[in-house]
Amino acid sequence: MGTNNCRLMVAVRSGDGFRVVDSFNRTVRLGEGLQSAGVLSDDAMARTMSALHVCAARLRQWPVRAICCVATEACRRAANGRAFLQRVRAETGLDIAIISPREEAELAMDSCGALLHANNHRRERGILFDIGGGSTEIAWLRLDRARRAQTLTGTTSIPWGVITMAERFAAPAADASDEEHAAYYEAMVRHVMTELDGFEAVHHIRREIGRSNVGMLGTSGTVTTLAGIALNLPRYNRHAIDGIVLTDAAALGAIDTLRAFRADGLATHPCVGSERNHYVLPGCAIFEAIHRLWPVEAVTVADRGLRDGLLFRMAREMETIGHVRSPSNVARRTPPSSKHGVYGANSAIWGA
C-alpha cells in the first residue's frame, strides 16, 4: 500500500522461484493532501479501503499459506497513519506493517539485483532508485560480479515523490508561456538535486561514475513510462519494458516528448492516462535531477518492486523453515486456473 497505488500479488512456488498467479493494481492516491494537512484525508482513506476490500476478497479465493502486507511513506508520515491501519485490520483482516525507507531499498534491491548484473558486467558499483508517490529511495550498492550478488552500502530517502512534488509545485495553466512551463520544471529538478547533495557528499558517487564503474537501475512508474515513450509503444507492455536499457539520450528525449504535452494531452496518451497525467512531469523532474547529479550513460528499467522483493524474501524463508503457518483470516479454496509470469530465484526474469 503505497502513497499512490494499492497493489497485490499472489504467487505459488515453482522450481527454485515462484509463479505469479494473480495480481491487482489500483490508483488510490492515499497521500493526496498529506503534504499540507499532515494527515490522511477521509476521501483518500475511503478510496484505499475500497481497494483493500478487493484485495481481501481476492485472497480468500486462494489457499494462501502466508501473507505479507506493507505500507510505505504515506502511513509513515501521516499523524493518523497507524490509526488507519488499525481500522484496515478491523474491516478487512489485513495486518499491514509500516516499513522503513531502508527496508524499501532492500526489497527493491532483492527484486531488481539480477537486472543490474545482467547489464553491468564490468562495473563494481550500482545506483538503484525508486520514485514513489510520497518519497524517492536511493540505494548505493557494491556489486559482486563473481557471485552475482550485491551489498547495500548506503541508502537515503527524500520526502519527495510524484504526489508530494505535484502538491509542492503548482503546475502552470495550460495557456501559460513556454518560459513559465520551463521555469516550473527547472524549479522541481533543482529542488530534488539539492535534497540529494548530502548523499553525494558522503559517498562520492560522481567520482566512481568518472571511472565508468557505476551501473544505474530505476524502478517506478516514471521510468517505465519513459521506456514506453522511448520505444514508441502504442500501449504499455510490461514484457517489452522490464529489463530494457535506456541510454541517457533516449531517456532525456522521452522527457522532452512528455514536456511538449499539456495536461490534457498527457491524459489521453496511451502510456500515461488520466489517473497519472498530473504526476508525470514531477516524476520526470525527479528522474532528471538524479541523472544530472549522477550522469550515468544508461539506465536499466525494471517493472518490478516491493511486491516482487517481498515474494523473494518469503520464498527464501519458506525454503529455510520448510513451512509457514496459514493465517486464520484466509478461506481455503481451490485456486482458479491462471497463467502469468514465472520468476526464477537466480535470474528474476519474467517468462510467458
| Burial degree of 236 (CB within 10 A; 0-12, 13-18, 19+) | middle
**SS3 for 204?**
coil
In this structure, the answer to whether residues 105 and 90 fall within a common structural domain is no
In this structure, the answer to whether residues 31 and 172 fall within a common structural domain is no
Whole-number pLDDT of residue 120: 66
Using alpha carbons only, how large is the chain's radius of gyration in Å?
20
Confirm whether 170 is domain-assigned.
Answer: yes
Whole-number pLDDT of residue 197: 97
In this structure, the answer to whether residues 130 and 271 fall within a common structural domain is yes
Whole-number pLDDT of residue 328: 36
Confirm whether 265 is domain-assigned.
Answer: yes
Share of the chain above pLDDT 90, in %: 60
**How far is the C-alpha of 76 from the C-alpha of 98, rounded, in Å?**
7
In this structure, the answer to whether residues 332 and 190 fall within a common structural domain is no
In this structure, the answer to whether residues 208 and 286 fall within a common structural domain is yes
Other beta carbons within 10 Å of 15: 10
Other beta carbons within 10 Å of 132: 31
Q: Tell me how many domains the chain contains.
A: 2
Mean pLDDT of 204-231: 93
Place of cell 490508483: 27
Say which DSSP state 57 is in.
H
Confirm whether 94 is domain-assigned.
Answer: yes
**How far is the C-alpha of 266 from the C-alpha of 281, rounded, in Å?**
10
- Give the CATH number of the domain where residue 26 resides: 3.30.420.40
Confirm whether 312 is domain-assigned.
Answer: no
Highest mean pLDDT among 91-95, 102-106, 303-307, 334-338: 91-95
Q: How far out from the chain centre does Cα 185 lie?
A: 22
**How far is the C-alpha of 239 from the C-alpha of 236, rounded, in Å?**
9
Q: Are strands 17-27 and 69-71 parallel, antiparallel or unpaired?
A: unpaired
Residue 295 pLDDT > 80, yes or no? yes
Alpha carbon of 126 to those of 306, 350, 352: distances in Å?
19, 22, 29
pLDDT digits (tens, 9 = 90+) for 113-128: 788 887 766 889 999 9
Highest mean pLDDT among 62-71, 141-150, 189-198: 189-198
Place of cell 511513506: 73
Confirm whether 313 is domain-assigned.
Answer: no
In this structure, the answer to whether residues 207 and 95 fall within a common structural domain is no
In this structure, the answer to whether residues 45 and 58 fall within a common structural domain is yes
Q: What one-letter code names the amino acid at 26?
A: R
Q: Which domain does 67 fall in, by range? A: 5-99+323-343
**How far is the C-alpha of 100 from the C-alpha of 134, rounded, in Å?**
13
In this structure, the answer to whether residues 50 and 183 fall within a common structural domain is no
Confirm whether 31 is domain-assigned.
Answer: yes
**How far is the C-alpha of 101 from the C-alpha of 106, rounded, in Å?**
9
Confirm whether 307 is domain-assigned.
Answer: no
Confirm whether 197 is domain-assigned.
Answer: yes
Whole-number pLDDT of residue 347: 24
In this structure, the answer to whether residues 88 and 147 fall within a common structural domain is no
- Give the CATH number of the domain where residue 161 resides: 3.30.420.150
In this structure, the answer to whether residues 116 and 194 fall within a common structural domain is yes
Alpha helices in the chain (DSSP H): 34-37, 42-59, 73-77, 81-92, 101-119, 162-168, 178-203, 205-210, 221-230, 238-241, 248-259, 263-268, 280-293, 306-321
pLDDT-derived band at 165, boundaries 50, 70, 90: very high
Whole-number pLDDT of residue 330: 33
In this structure, the answer to whether residues 147 and 172 fall within a common structural domain is yes
State the chain's mean pLDDT as an integer: 85
In this structure, the answer to whether residues 83 and 119 fall within a common structural domain is no
Which strand ranges, in their side-by-side order, compose the sheet holding 136-144? Answer: 149-158, 136-144, 125-131, 214-219, 298-302, 245-247
Q: Are strands 96-98 and 69-71 parallel, antiparallel or unpaired?
A: parallel
Mean pLDDT of 227-249: 89
Mean pLDDT of 217-239: 89
Report which of 101, 55, 20, 70 is spatially closest to residue 312, judged by C-alpha positions.
20
Q: How far out from the chain centre does Cα 282 lie?
A: 15
Q: Yes or no: say if 291 and 251 are a contact pair by the CB < 8 Å rule.
A: yes
Residue 343 pLDDT > 70, yes or no? no
Whole-number pLDDT of residue 278: 83
When mean pLDDT is compared across 113-117, 127-131, 196-200, the lowest value belongs to 113-117
